[in-house]
Structure 1
């Protein structure tokens, strides 16, 4: 017990000027003690403004410094006591020093034959009590056990945080395992729904069933791989945390305080790093299946509506073709040939007189259009009614492999309907910045990053480009229009057999913009390109 009091006794019996044990101690009026030579030298012979070096109390007059006889006796008694206590321990301590001389952190050192029972908070290391006044002059010192107690509290706090994090990861692991079991069931259900919907369509849509199956299997495989990787990472991390927790237990039970402090600094930084590197997966792995399910449901509804509306017309057309006689066709052909040879243009004049002038006239040829999400670039999002397109949030993107018909490089989308009627008219509303309103053949390149896939830059598409001005493009040739944009609504009028495509600006009246002439050889699909700030909506004209 005497050894534990040595640092405290030394601190009390040390001169605050030279930091050594008091030699010829003297007491000044404020009650503090210093070596007589130290205090006399500190004040100087001619110095008048005097103060205590320890408490800085002002002294109004220079006192006669008198030797403190009692304190001198205490110092002599203390030194003798240390000498007597050291001698019986020298043999045991020398043997202990031989065992631990080459082993750092054991608490003994041959220089002082004493324990490392003092901790320097300034230098953050263990020191010998006899070195405090020499090498650690002016530093803040305390007992190693006190430092150990504080660090022990930090260790327990860290262990509590690690165990809480371990519980969170165990819960996450359980949730991941549950979702992993749901994937196969959900994938099978989606495939069954897909097959049920596709079977209701006409025969040539059967090939899309395989595409859907492969897409869902790819989604399932991708999600399974992601969850499998996440589970592996979680298991690895949990094992590391368990090992770290066990190591902290061993360190906490260590009786060697010096070894504890040496190891704890490194282990604390490792624990902090592991805690900071932890991140929970917030994205629902079943999200892609929900998107696919919604898309398939919409496809089923639209296929049903399409069949109900279009199949009776197809049957009627087929019946009419069967009833039409060969003679009637020949007569009409002969009549048409006769009119052409005779130079009669009455038919053309009649058609010209029937050209629409007002918006009400154009609305007679209004056609119903809907956007095809399967063709939309990954950066675009289509509204639930398939009438509006705009830039999509990054988190909603679906990989291109899920939709092989989509545009890969340009933010473009096509409509489902191919136009080849004698006359067709539709309107779109453009909000925001730049946009392109186009018509294209279905075979337009959708994978290339060159102009082959750009509207108006090839022989398979025609485009009206809208920005601060209008321009019309085809085969990479553009014509700048004089008309400046003044309305958000654009009307498109197609005469397929006639081979003409006209664009109008729609407001209270129809403002003609430009008319293209071409020999259309296959159905034209309306399409759109838009920049970051644009939004395009197909107007409902019926």
Structure 2
């Protein structure tokens, strides 16, 4: 009798389907053994009857009868040795959410290490061992554990999907490649995987780029909202300031109206009081004369009456009250007050709007410096490029292509071809000057003709008092006071150039409807020195928003 230690190894009693020790082992016609339930379920979900190990196909479904010999051997094996397959090592990792379960574990499900495309099952470390040591199972195709293994089998031929048909853009099995896709372009799944992976990598890069662009757009929109809020807050503050000033002006007008009417009424009452007092005085005198006349007329003394007659006959001196009257009408007072208020309003509103407009354009301030390569040789520029004046001595300078040869002017270094910009120039003490914005192609080697048609938009001062806008036709400017500092604003897209009296917060002149197609440059002409009368420099000043 054989010793229990001479029993076959555990590998000989494992079902190739469940990889556990046989339960009701049956033998199919090709000679391979399986658990009765395992092979029954395998054939129930398949369109053909095939051996899971050798792939031999049977035309009819074989009858399954328990192999009593193998069954007895399994019973002896169960009694003599602990089942390795049914007692999975406690050292293995317990299944976690998101991981694939071992299909062979009967009790605690463990994490699968591999999935078999032939067995259509996933196995943990213990149940995977037969695939690593048994010659028949070594030929099975193992992959990293996945769920729904049935989806990786060809539904028509029950074969693994190993090829990719580029013609139909679908995954197929080997048999499909021979039968249904014979003339199609077929490649291994791995090759198509690498190609599609590269495409997805490119798509991912493009997607990330799109995400970044949209994130930047979000930041841009948020920034726009923030700027809009700042503008709104600023406009509200300025609006409140304007309307507060207007309300105060109305209140002052109302107070003046009331005071005017009250003062007029007070004057009327005083005049009436004086008239009444005077009238009462005359009445008193007349009553006194009347009393005397009455007394004399009742007297029987003939001599006394005749003696008093002449003095009593003439009435006491009185005023002629016929034309005297009290004019107490206040008609037109309110109308005149409202008209005056309207005029005041108009002036105040115009002033406030100019102040608000100046504050708005000052937000587009840029740093402008003078370009020495464009300066006429008679001009004197400061080291910091912020001041220019006319000198009596012509300097020997290189004939730079951009230098003005005839006109005593200089351009700013900075050019502008879009958007808005603003700068300020101190003109205090000047008797002559020209400030302008000019296009890049302005004539440098001859007289500069000042006109919008020639690409320059300017204002000029002559004789220390007369400002003129060099428009078509030129416009003589009536200014209340001589500007000490001039602000220059340009809106490229709007075609607008405006000059401001900064200290008075007043608009000097605007060129509208301009068409800009080139770069624009600030232009400065300090005028001739004129024996020292016009020696003060033009100074580009820092912009300070009030």
Same fold (TM over 0.5): no
Higher helix content, 1 or 2 = 1
TM-score scaled by length of structure 2: 0.32
Which has the higher Rg, Structure 1 or Structure 2? 2
TM-score scaled by length of structure 1: 0.33
